[in-house]
Amino acid sequence: MKTNHTYSFIVLTAILLFCFVLNISLGSVGIPFSEVFDSLFGTVQNNTSQIIITKVRLPKAITAIIVGSGLGISGLLMQTLFRNPLAGPFVLGISSGASLGVALVILGSGLFGGLFATALITKWSIVIASSLGSFIVLLAVLAVSNKVRDTMAILIIGLMFGSITAAVVSVLSYFSSAEQLQQYIFWGFGSLSNLSWSDLLIFFSIYAVGLLLSIASIKGLNGLLLGDNYAKSLGLNLKQSRLIIILATSLIAGTITAFAGPIAFIGLAIPHLTRQIFKTTNHKILLPAVFLFGAIVMLICDTIAQVPYSDYMLPINAITALVGAPVVIWLLVRQRKMMF
Amino acid sequence: MKNETSHIILKAEQLSIGYKTKKIETVIASNINFELQKGQLIGLVGANGIGKSTLLRTLIKVQPELSGAISLNNKDLKSTSTLELAKQLSIVLTEPLTSKNLSVFELVALGRHPYTNWIGNLTENDTTTINNALSLVNISELKDKKCYELSDGQLQKVMIARALAQDTAIIVLDEPTSHLDMYHKAYILKLLQKLTKETGKTILFSSHEIDLAIQLCDTMIVMTKGQVVCDKPCHLISKGVFNSLFPKDLIVFDDKTGSFRVTK
């Protein structure tokens, strides 16, 4: 049984490497494979292909890996924590919270007007607003989930947060300029590009902290599979484990939403797809598997979104929804019950 | 007679149980006193709503006692940490599993949680304990099955194996025989009796199978309105405690057979 998993991990890693190279090789400009490798390993310097690869495609591919794996992992943590197969950063309103933060910064800045407005909309203010938004919503959801035992209620509350965001956004858009509105809408489409290496370093650092926290909660997550009372009877410090899981999720989901926009369905669909293949709920196996799977799917979605050899660039959110939503429906229909 | 030499594992003194909100204190049962000996099978019986589950939940520290004291292995339950408690007491509850996608081995392995390292790696010692637990309950052949493939009876055995793997001196089970047919009810209770004999563990369970409990238990705790009695089953019968268990309009306790009869 153990060797079976090792085998799957080797295959997944190989697929990930393949998708990574594929993602870098394909783009609006055709670059032959040999040149891609030369640029990657630095044997060619300062020609056009090398600049495209290292300045544009490589950061984008790395972003895709971080976004895909991060959303998958935060979805996995949420599903176990809330004991609900439908939980995910998007469903629980965490992405909505982040969007609200961003909307307040981009659209709300119009209310101040003048010079102050332009000073307010920097990449940093968006990142901070988005992370804060997701953290606050997650805290609210957790506070409610401590009071309301019913997990269905938690999901509905998540949906309500989504509605509140939509309402606030439409009110704000009434008062903001077309330009600001456009900026917000483009952010809302989600995008993996536009990240420089220095952005990426910060992005990766925060993500890495979240990832380490998730790895630290593997044992706690496995205990939670039995339910709260059993977990407690196993000597698990429930409050502490919950806090670490929440912190990990809001760090990961918050920064991802800030840097790449609200990306739908990956967080929900990836853990389910992974469970289908690995047939286990043991987080020691699931966590790395979700990491690999999320990264692979995101790389593929991004490869499709950039429409190879053309000047078009589709919004990544549309692609993830087109891939993710049918997967969820298929799982529901085929399995009748989404088990986890 | 043997009480001087035997070891008291769980003790309740002047215990009062119930629920407390900010203003109102709802007392469900009070003046509960008992001493449970090591290596015994103890059945907890009582009518629906009398507070069996509340008592068990208080004993396993899921909810606080209103007053009185519980001591586990001569140590006050309040001052026992969660991790310490996990090494002393394991539980089997009625609540359904959150995830049924675990294999039997993985589920039983979760019982080793208090002993494993930060990421939950199983040592050889852990694996041996898990396999022992599986074979004690006779489910070694189910090892690789998923929990959703099991029948209720099998699942109950798996949960008992998980509690065994936790390697605690005492196991508490809340209604382990509900949802089971007559044969499996007897099977599970007989299994619990066997486990106390073979492992020297103390097993406390609540049940509605009063006649089976009378036949199998070393000690019984009977909860009736107004009093909680703890004694050997034969003494309880001669004291007529079982007669006060239920309203007498429908069923009466028959001392000779040790079971309830419908009144004609």
Q: What is the pLDDT of residue A111?
A: 65
Least confident among A87-101, A238-252, B50-64, B87-101: A87-101
Per mean pLDDT, which of A253-257, A307-311, B55-59, B257-261 is the most reliable?
Answer: B55-59
Q: What is the pLDDT of residue A1?
A: 45
Q: What is the CATH number of domain B8-262?
A: 3.40.50.300
Count of A-B CB contacts under 8 Å: 86
pLDDT digits (tens, 9 = 90+) for A315-331: 888 899 888 888 878 87
Cβ–Cβ < 8 Å for B37, B219: yes
**Cβ-Cβ contacts under 8 Å, B89 against chain A:** 233
With bands split at pLDDT 50, 70 and 90, how would you rate the model's confidence at A303? very high
Q: What is the pLDDT of residue A75?
A: 93
When comparing pLDDT for B85 and A115, which is higher?
B85
- Structure-block tokens of residue B155: 């699942």
Q: What is the pLDDT of residue A314?
A: 86
pLDDT digits (tens, 9 = 90+) for A279-293: 888 999 999 999 999
Burial class (CB in 10 A: 0-12, 13-18, 19+), A240: exposed
Place of tokens 């599993």: B97
Where do the domains of chain A lie?
65-295+316-335
Across the interface, whether the CB atoms of A235 and B82 are under 8 A apart is answered yes
- Structure-block tokens of residue B77: 């339950």
With bands split at pLDDT 50, 70 and 90, how would you rate the model's confidence at B2? very low
Chain B: give the shortest CA distance to residue A212, in Å. Answer: 12
pTM assigned to the model: 0.88
Cβ–Cβ < 8 Å for A216, A283: no
What's the fold here for domain A65-295+316-335? ABC transporter involved in vitamin B12 uptake, BtuC (1.10.3470)
**Cβ-Cβ contacts under 8 Å, A237 against chain B:** 82
Task: Tell me which residue in A222, A280, A339 faces B120 most closely, judged by beta carbons.
Answer: A222
pLDDT average, residue stretch A75-96? 83
Q: CB-based contacts of B20: which residues, under 8 Å, 6+ apart? A: B26, B64, B66
Angle at A304 between CA A302 and CA A306, to 5 degrees: 70
Cβ–Cβ < 8 Å for B66, B20: yes
Mean pLDDT of chain B: 91
Chain A: give the shortest CA distance to residue B103, in Å. Answer: 8
Shortest CA distance to B88 belongs to which of B169, B171, B205?
A: B169
Across the interface, whether the CB atoms of B103 and A280 are under 8 A apart is answered yes
When comparing pLDDT for A123 and B127, which is higher?
B127
DSSP one-letter code for A83? T
Q: What is the pLDDT of residue A95?
A: 80
- First CA to last CA across chain B, in angstroms? 42
For A224, name the nearest residue in chain B, comparing CA atoms only. B98
Q: What is the pLDDT of residue A149?
A: 64
pLDDT digits (tens, 9 = 90+) for A144-199: 777 776 667 777 888 888 888 888 888 888 888 888 888 888 888 888 887 888 88
**Cβ-Cβ contacts under 8 Å, B77 against chain A:** none
Cα atoms in the 13 Å half-sphere on the side-chain side of A202: 11
**Cβ-Cβ contacts under 8 Å, A275 against chain B:** 101
Mean pLDDT of chain A: 84
Across the interface, whether the CB atoms of B110 and A234 are under 8 A apart is answered yes
Angle at B215 between CA B209 and CA B216, to 5 degrees: 85
Q: What is the pLDDT of residue A38?
A: 78
**Cβ-Cβ contacts under 8 Å, B83 against chain A:** 235
Cβ–Cβ < 8 Å for B252, B260: yes
- Which residues are B42's β-sheet partners? B204, B219
Q: What's the per-residue H, E or C state across chain B?
A: CCCCCCCEEEEEEEEEEEEECCCCEEEEEEEEEEEEECCCEEEEEECCCCCHHHHHHHHCCCCCCCEEEEEECCEEHHHCCHHHHHHHEEEECCCCCCCCCCEHHHHHHHHHHHHCCCCCCCCHHHHHHHHHHHHHCCCHHHCCCEHHHCCHHHHHHHHHHHHHHCCCCEEEECCCCCCCCHHHHHHHHHHHHHHHHHHCCEEEEECCCHHHHHHHCCEEEEEECCEEEEECHHHHHHHCHHHHCCCCCCEEEECCCCEEEECC
Of A76, A218, A233, A280, which to mutate for an interface test with B (greatest number of B Cβ within 10 Å)?
A233
Helices (H) then strands (E): counts for chain A: 17, 0
Shortest CA distance to A132 belongs to which of A169, A104, A111?
A: A104
Q: What's the per-residue H, E or C state across B11-72?
A: EEEEEEEEEECCCCEEEEEEEEEEEEECCCEEEEEECCCCCHHHHHHHHCCCCCCCEEEEEE
Q: What is the pLDDT of residue A68?
A: 96
With bands split at pLDDT 50, 70 and 90, how would you rate the model's confidence at A339? low
Helix axis angle, A178-189 to A94-106, nearest 10°: 150
**ipTM for this model:** 0.91
Chain A: give the shortest CA distance to residue B177, in Å. Answer: 18
- Structure-block tokens of residue B12: 């309740």
Cα atoms in the 13 Å half-sphere on the side-chain side of A205: 6
Cα atoms in the 13 Å half-sphere on the side-chain side of A130: 26
